[in-house]
Chains A and B, each alone.
Chain A
């Protein structure tokens, strides 16, 4: 996406949104209270996390959860997180980045190609593909984890990075979203005009259609990034080498250290590590949320 193309696209989508905004504003104390409660409900865990990341392990146990302890150890905690066990956290961070860039990035590319193709070309079996894609959305990834594990173990791919990356590449929901978005936002007439002018299909796609689909693609990318970043169950059963763990499993490993014979609780590092883990996702959301919103409405209006 280039900066030059995006404003134009947003303008194109704007009129539809404006008709809603023109409605008279109704005030509802009940709704405001409900929303405030929900906001508090959503933010309290986050506040807890940030506050407790400033405490030492003993301070964590002694002090009230939603306020600071006497000691302010955030900097020291961050340093410990990054150096504990020879800096394994940094390794997990790099692994997560790799899985996200290759897995979620690849999923977005595949979804874009396939979604565009399904939206703009007619071919036999299209309805069947539609049914399969819709059906796949209904199956949660967790349900597929065990069959996937058995398949990958036949292939000798368990406990490798491919065990995480290959399943992440498939995103039926992303495909569906691009499909709907392309139908809606790329007029067939424009494509026909390009063809008449002699542009190849590939060029038409890359120079015209792709740019029109940017909000949809960014939405799919965000969905895929969040899903891969938070992926827990699949790496849990696929990986057994701590050097390959993503952050989710690594943090869980640290948390589990508190349990059982030989227990060495490091709750303060788990909490500080969690803060560091969600930071990139928070930043991604803040930077890309306008695409996210327009993408969501595009899907919902069509459906």
Chain B
């Protein structure tokens, strides 16, 4: 989620400064990264079991709230292993520190959390361990296709999915009902609902978007059918004016230019307050949102509901991933087999996933998504709605073939300077996307990639 980068420019500057300084070295090291894969499945899975039995100490960096309970359960199950847990609070600083430790050559953890969108940035310089050699290919069937696709790039397995964020439309049912608005099923209806709501009550907005959240923009392009980034080895193709990107930008132009969206930045105290009192009436956002609403906007309890994402043509349901992360093993780890063992337990054992689910997380594992317990759960916050039925349908209708840039963190950091400017000037978002593309092409070439414009 890139509200983060928007909110803390200093952290971003640091990341950019370092990435800018080190990008070239990082890229040239790309070829020899993650070698040694392709061992026999069973033999290597045995090596992991042996390492777990033998024990040792590993370090784990994460910002997942359930991590402490998960680590405790792991240490109960494997008493010889000691896990040093470092709470890194949120993704932006986490990535910065991880990048710094990798650059420094020491101080990186054995296992770390990484957002799906940041994964390529660490895979290509060879900072992560290809888990194929530990027999992780056998785990493929456990995960949804879209999350497994996110961790398997460049012919390797670079992590195990922790959670997923298929997008759905979260809306404030009370506000919708009070203003006679029906749940929109197409984006045209959504725009219309925005007009109606703001006309009926000028303090209320259909949603918020300050134009700084690249994570939201890319997910929306994904949902609209756009596939602007294609990565093939060292060759990157960028086309931020493909059909899907234009389709999203055209719709959003109307919302922004008619001032139907609130300019409150995501994740600010103002934002939580507006979600609690209904002045932001809906959010197209990832399926992990219920937990966030419960902990951050307790005042809105009973008001909210979930519906499938609106579509552009009113046809078949299609959505995109928004946020979500995997855990990875770092190349710097001194005990990779043990680290892989912890990771395997963390994201594929039922003991661990149950702890994760209890904390309100949205899983990436098919068995949990399809279990009756999960599907029939009635959420009190959502007025008794069985929200997981809607969210699991979303998980099954994620558009295929999406890829992120190998420098997505940098790209996201310049999103508000390009696309965000269109919001600010109430200008055509397509022009902002073109400017974003142009700067990314330049940056990619500077980093030593062959960049083609689609």
A256 at the interface (CB under 8 A from B): yes
Question: Size class of B's contact patch?
Answer: 35 or more
B173 at the interface (CB under 8 A from A): no
Chain A residues, Cβ within 8 Å of B257: none
What total of chain A residues lie within 8 Å of the partner, measured CB to CB?
Answer: 37
Chain B residues, Cβ within 8 Å of A237: 14, 18, 96-97, 100
A265 B100 Cβ-Cβ under 8 A = no
Interfacial residues of chain B within 91-121, with CB under 8 A of chain A in the complex: 91-93, 96-98, 100-101, 103-107
A5 at the interface (CB under 8 A from B): no
Question: Which residue of chain A lies nearest to B14 when distances are taken between CB atoms in the complex?
Answer: A237
One of B66, B87, B292 near A263 (C-beta < 8 A) = B292
Within the complex, what minimum Cβ distance (angstroms) separates B95 from chain A? 11
Question: Which residue of chain B lies nearest to A240 when distances are taken between CB atoms in the complex?
Answer: B97
Chain A residues, Cβ within 8 Å of B288: 261-262
B324 at the interface (CB under 8 A from A): yes
Produce 1/0 per residue, A230-270, CB < 8 A to B.
00110011111110000000001110111111111101000
Question: Which residue of chain A lies nearest to B274 when distances are taken between CB atoms in the complex?
Answer: A61
Chain A residues, Cβ within 8 Å of B11: 236
B295 at the interface (CB under 8 A from A): yes
Chain A residues, Cβ within 8 Å of B454: none
Produce 1/0 per residue, B1-28, CB < 8 A to A.
1011001101100100110010000000
Question: Which residue of chain A lies nearest to B322 when distances are taken between CB atoms in the complex?
Answer: A261
B64 at the interface (CB under 8 A from A): yes
A259 B4 Cβ-Cβ under 8 A = yes
One of A152, A238, A253, A261 near B93 (C-beta < 8 A) = A253
How far is A150 from B273 in the complex, measured between Cα atoms in Å?
42
Produce 1/0 per residue, B202-229, CB < 8 A to A.
0000000000000000000000000000
Chain A residues, Cβ within 8 Å of B7: 259
Pick the most buried of B90, B93, B106, B361: most chain A CB atoms within 10 A of its CB: B90
How far is A264 from B288 in the complex, measured between Cα atoms in Å?
13
One of B90, B163, B269, B299 near A257 (C-beta < 8 A) = B90
**Contact (A264, B65) CB under 8 Å given A252-B93, A256-B92, A259-B7:** yes
- Identify the stretch in A117-125, A129-137, A153-161, A187-195 within 8 Å (CB) of chain B at 4 or more residues: A153-161
One of A60, A150, A232 near B21 (C-beta < 8 A) = A150
Interfacial residues of chain B within 59-102, with CB under 8 A of chain A in the complex: 61, 63-66, 86-93, 96-98, 100-101
A62 at the interface (CB under 8 A from B): yes
How far is A39 from B108 in the complex, measured between Cα atoms in Å?
47
A146 B272 Cβ-Cβ under 8 A = no
Known pairs A237-B14, A264-B296, A267-B269; list 12 more (Cβ under 8 Å): A61-B299, A62-B273, A149-B104, A236-B93, A252-B93, A257-B89, A257-B90, A259-B91, A260-B4, A261-B325, A263-B296, A265-B295
Interface CB pairs A-B, < 8 A, 20: A58-B299, A149-B104, A159-B101, A159-B107, A233-B14, A236-B93, A236-B96, A242-B86, A253-B93, A256-B4, A256-B90, A257-B89, A258-B272, A259-B1, A259-B92, A260-B4, A261-B325, A262-B288, A263-B296, A265-B296
Mark A residues whose CB is within 8 Å of B: 58, 60-62, 85, 145-146, 149-150, 152-153, 156, 158-159, 232-233, 236-242, 252-254, 256-265, 267
